[in-house]
Amino acid sequence: MAEDINDFYEEDTQKGKFLTFGIGREVYGIEIGVVTEIISIQRITEVPEVPKYIRGIINLRGKIIPVMDVRLRFKKPFREYNERTCIIVVHIHELSIGLIVDDVAEVIFMEDDQIVAKPDIKSAQNQYIKNIGKVGDEIKLILDCEKMLDADGEVFLMELK
Amino acid sequence: MEPMLEMFIFETNQNLEQLEQITMNSEKNGTFSKDEINDIFRIMHTIKGSSAMMLVNEVATLAHSIEDIFFYMRENKPENVECSTLTDIILESADFIKEEISKLEAGKQANASASVLSESTKAFLTELKTSNGDIVQEKTSKNSIKNQQYYIGAEKTSEIEEVLNVFYAVIKYQEDCEMENIRAYTVVNSMQDIVKEMHYLPEDILDDDNTVCEIRNNGFKMWFTTVKNYKDITKLLDNTIFLKSLDVKQLASVNECEYWPTKKEVVKEVILDEIPIKPILATKKTECHDVHQTMISVNVEKLDVLMDLVGELVIAEAMVTQNPELAGLELKNFHKASRQLKKISSELQDGVMSIRMVPLSGTFQKMNRIVRDMSKKLNKQVELVLIGEETEVDKNVIEHISDPLMHLIRNSLDHGIEIPEMRVKNGKNPIGKITLEAKNAGNEVVINIVDDGQGLNRDKILERARENNLIYKSEADLTDKEIYAFIFAPGFSTKEKVTEFSGRGVGMDVVMKNINAVGGTILVNSEPGKGSMITLKIPLTLAIIAGMTVKVGNASYTIPIVSIRESFRPAEQNLIYDPDGSEMIMVRGQCYPIIRLHKIYNINTEVTDFTKGIIIMVETEKMTIGVFADQLIGQQQIVVKPVPVYIKNISNIAGVTGCTLLGDGSISLILDAVGLISKL
């Protein structure tokens, strides 16, 4: 019982909250629930034989986790990391992974009616977007983390070739 | 798990282990000695009592019927005993009980029927009696059946008011039984349905741990009134586990009792209370037996966590004491303190490692049973010699080598050892010998399985290898060792006939896989007609290994020291380039292929000229190769961490088995020799 209540509250406080970050000029958002922490860019150890967007592995206080460059994942050109570059550590399905982004903006709250379904455009880049959020005049692209981590499918095979 | 059940499982398993050892020993001697009969009787008695208490009735009945046999043997000392049949019965029963216990352990119901086993046991007893000219003693078996009833159907209290008998009983336990108070409590519990009123001293047996001493010294005293007669009570109490002595006196009335408080409720209350056994169990000890140590069981996961933490501590320590910011500073006291820290942390590391170390004896003892069963079925006579059982190996490693060892022993027995007639014909001792030997060698454990059988058939293996297209170079170039290594290829078997135990060709490749999984290696050696020897080399532990770290470009890689033969900077004249672009190195007249790490892993580096970098000769049982890297960084103890699952899922990076953290917090990938060779 007690757990149920806890779950309920936890979900409640995190619901509708998104961490926003920038890649180039776009602003993306991910559900705050999956985010464990945000760290500055670290020394990355390269791992051979993985797709380019997997930059390698980092040492997160003794834990070794892979890091993915979201830019490269979205097939945008690589940009040198600087002091604004961040790693967002997310935890999904028992899996920790770091997402390298240009910069982290803020945590925003969006009501359900501010979020609309994505337009039905069939392009590779679009498949990682779950919904589109509107805050004022700004558009936030809400990421589908699971899809992004999913290495299956054509994209993965293409990268390998 | 319920503490009571846990204790029961623990005790019974230990008893069974002992039982197996005693039985096999007596089978070897061809007779059951007086001590052995007593021991088995005691073990069976204990198992019967405790399993009846835990309501595992089938086990209790089975144990009881075996107990009967040994009761008879103890009392009547029969001369004609079918030793090996009896051993079979005992071992089969032990297997049955083990099975049931493991069911309980898994939280399931122990519900298999032992009736067949019990029947055959009873039949054996009848036969034993008739063959020794004794009339079947109805009495013993009847009595014990009654005993069963008391335990299981304890609720059968008499409804009819009868004359109450008053008894005074003193129970003394064996010295090493431990937890006297709980055992006393189980007695009280088992009695509570047949007594009208009951009082006992010491009183607070559950809440007060000091009562253990009192019971130990003065015995557990009980006064009670019951409708049962003297005989019944004695019989019931006689079944108490770890009973040393029992003294039951019938008293004329309750007035004669030394201790008979008027408040009747007191006792009942104590009985009905929840049993707070837990704190007492925490101090639980193993039965005092010379072979066993005092131990507690700890979840391996907890040890893994501890190991991880220590690993991190070692790294963190290096990060502090070798911090680049300290360079050039005069810090006398700091260095003193950091040396102290280093000492403690390395001792801590040794300590944690030693917790995880388990002697091989358990695994080795299991082989006794296999050899026994198999040699019987195959009509071969085999003696198994165990050497170095006390050698300790990491718990995880043990789990991985138990199966391979079993396969190898089976193989030796089935393929290696000849039938006795054959052996005599070849001028050998009709009794074959298999030696299982373990010894420490540095950071490794070496296990030898030696048999004095017919040895491996080189030509046959070669022929079979040809059929299976396993030969990878010209036959003339194959060394004996390389030929023998074919037996580990999947689906390989030279045996024409598939037997129950081996010959299907599965097994040896599984052995190889299992041993490789723990980073071990296998060597086969054989001499036709004289026998063969299989050597397993297994790292002591998986968690921490000695590694050589090398640099390639900006990346570092670590190669386990065990697979490195040597490393050097090559001279131009020793390098060979063939027209296909393959590169080779000549070392002491032998030619080895070279792998460039920067090439296979696509790393940018300035060092591409062999004479500017370093070549590390990496050895596997198949072949030796040269691995080219920029420079050596150094040798150190590394904590092996798995490659993140996510990356593993994406691609199985050939040659990389794990990663480790270096002193400066950076990550190094651990290379595996076998994987690297596949890159050639």
Q: Does residue A107 have a pLDDT over 80?
A: yes
Write down the pLDDT at residue A153. Answer: 44
Q: At what angle do helices B138-152 and B34-53 cross, to 10 degrees?
A: 30
Tokens of residue B441, six digits: 């060698």
User: For residue A49, which residues of chain B lie inside 8 Å, CB to CB?
Assistant: 601, 651, 653-654
User: How buried is A11 (Cβ within 10 angstroms: 0-12 exposed, 13-18 middle, 19+ buried)?
Assistant: exposed
Say whether A59 and B661 touch across the interface (CB within 8 A). yes
Interchain CB contacts (distance < 8 Å): A and B: 69
Write down the pLDDT at residue B542. Answer: 66
Write down the pLDDT at residue B160. Answer: 46
Confidence of residue A98 (pLDDT cuts 50, 70, 90): very high
User: How buried is A28 (Cβ within 10 angstroms: 0-12 exposed, 13-18 middle, 19+ buried)?
Assistant: buried
User: For residue B656, which residues of chain A lie inside 8 Å, CB to CB?
Assistant: 47-48
Tokens of residue A113, six digits: 């009616």
Which residues of A3-160 form beta strands (DSSP E)?
Answer: 17-23, 26-31, 35-40, 54-60, 63-69, 86-92, 95-101, 103-109, 115-117, 129-135, 138-143
Bridging pattern class, strands B243-251 and B165-173: antiparallel
Write down the pLDDT at residue B289. Answer: 43
Q: Does residue B375 have a pLDDT over 80?
A: yes
d(CA B494, CA B161) in angstroms, rounded, equals 78
Q: Does residue A156 have a pLDDT over 70?
A: no
Where do the domains of chain A lie, and which CATH numbers do they carry?
Answer: 15-160 (2.40.50.180)
Q: Does residue B158 have a pLDDT over 60?
A: no
Mean pLDDT of chain B: 77
Nearest residue of chain B to residue A55 (CA atoms): B647
Write down the pLDDT at residue B106. Answer: 80
Contact B356, B539 (CB under 8 A): no
pLDDT digits (tens, 9 = 90+) for B506-526: 567 778 878 877 777 788 888
Total-model pTM: 0.51
pLDDT digits (tens, 9 = 90+) for B410-449: 888 888 888 888 888 888 888 888 999 998 877 678 899 9
Bridging pattern class, strands B432-441 and B382-387: parallel
This model of the complex carries an ipTM of 0.77
Q: Does residue B477 have a pLDDT over 70?
A: yes
Tokens of residue A88, six digits: 């967002």
Q: Does residue B505 have a pLDDT over 60?
A: no
| Least confident residue range of A94-98, A120-124, B106-110 | A120-124
Q: Does residue B297 have a pLDDT over 50?
A: yes
Map residue B583 onto helix, strand or coil: strand
d(CA B565, CA B673) in angstroms, rounded, equals 11
Q: Which of A43, A61, A64 sits opposite B659 (nearest CB)?
A: A64
pLDDT digits (tens, 9 = 90+) for B650-660: 777 778 888 88
Per DSSP, helices labelled H in B30-167 are 34-53, 57-76, 83-105, 115-131, 138-152
User: For residue A47, which residues of chain B lie inside 8 Å, CB to CB?
Assistant: 643, 647, 653, 656, 669
pLDDT digits (tens, 9 = 90+) for B453-469: 888 888 888 887 887 77
User: For residue B603, which residues of chain A lie inside 8 Å, CB to CB?
Assistant: 46, 48
pLDDT digits (tens, 9 = 90+) for B217-242: 777 888 877 777 777 777 777 777 77
Q: Does residue B212 have a pLDDT over 60?
A: yes
Write down the pLDDT at residue B271. Answer: 42
Q: Residue B323 CB: number of other CB atoms within 10 A? A: 11
Write down the pLDDT at residue B630. Answer: 92
Write down the pLDDT at residue A9. Answer: 53
Nearest 5°: the CA angle B519, B538, B533 is: 120
Tokens of residue B438, six digits: 């373990």
Total number of residues shown for chain A? 161
Tokens of residue A109, six digits: 């709250």
Contact B386, B432 (CB under 8 A): no
Give the mean model confidence (pLDDT) for residues B69-73.
84
Q: Does residue B153 have a pLDDT over 50?
A: no
In 3D, which of B573, B680, B558, B580 has the Cα closest to residue B626? B680
Q: Is B300 on the interface with A (CB under 8 A)?
A: no
Say whether B653 and A95 touch across the interface (CB within 8 A). no
Write down the pLDDT at residue A7. Answer: 52
Region of residue B133 (left: phi > 0; alpha: psi -120 to 50; beta: else): left
Confidence of residue A87 (pLDDT cuts 50, 70, 90): very high
Bridging pattern class, strands B432-441 and B444-451: antiparallel
| Least confident residue range of A79-83, A123-127, B390-394 | A123-127
How would DSSP label each residue in B243-286?
EEEEEEEEESSGGG-S---S-SHHHHHHHHS----HHHHTT---
pLDDT digits (tens, 9 = 90+) for B268-288: 444 444 444 433 333 333 343
Q: Does residue B569 have a pLDDT over 50?
A: yes
Write down the pLDDT at residue A100. Answer: 93
d(CA B196, CA B226) in angstroms, rounded, equals 5
- Which residues of A touch chain B, with CB atoms under 8 Å apart? 43, 45-51, 54, 57-59, 61-62, 64-66, 95-97, 149, 151, 156
Write down the pLDDT at residue B207. Answer: 64
Q: Is B678 on the interface with A (CB under 8 A)?
A: no
Tokens of residue B595, six digits: 């792998």
Confidence of residue B504 (pLDDT cuts 50, 70, 90): very low
d(CA B212, CA B445) in angstroms, rounded, equals 44
Write down the pLDDT at residue B401. Answer: 84
Sign of torsion, CA B205 B211 B212 B216?
negative
Total number of residues shown for chain B? 680
Cα separations in angstroms, A133 against A11, A20, A30: 19, 11, 11
pLDDT higher at A51 or B472: A51
Give the mean model confidence (pLDDT) for residues B332-342.
89
Confidence of residue B178 (pLDDT cuts 50, 70, 90): low
Confidence of residue B2 (pLDDT cuts 50, 70, 90): low
Q: Does residue B205 have a pLDDT over 80?
A: no
Q: Which of A43, A45, A48 sits opposite B602 (nearest CB)?
A: A48
Nearest residue of chain B to residue A49 (CA atoms): B653
Tokens of residue B290, six digits: 């010379």
HSE-CB of B609 using CA atoms within 13 angstroms: 4
d(CA B515, CA B260) in angstroms, rounded, equals 67
User: For residue B305, which residues of chain A lie inside 8 Å, CB to CB?
Assistant: none
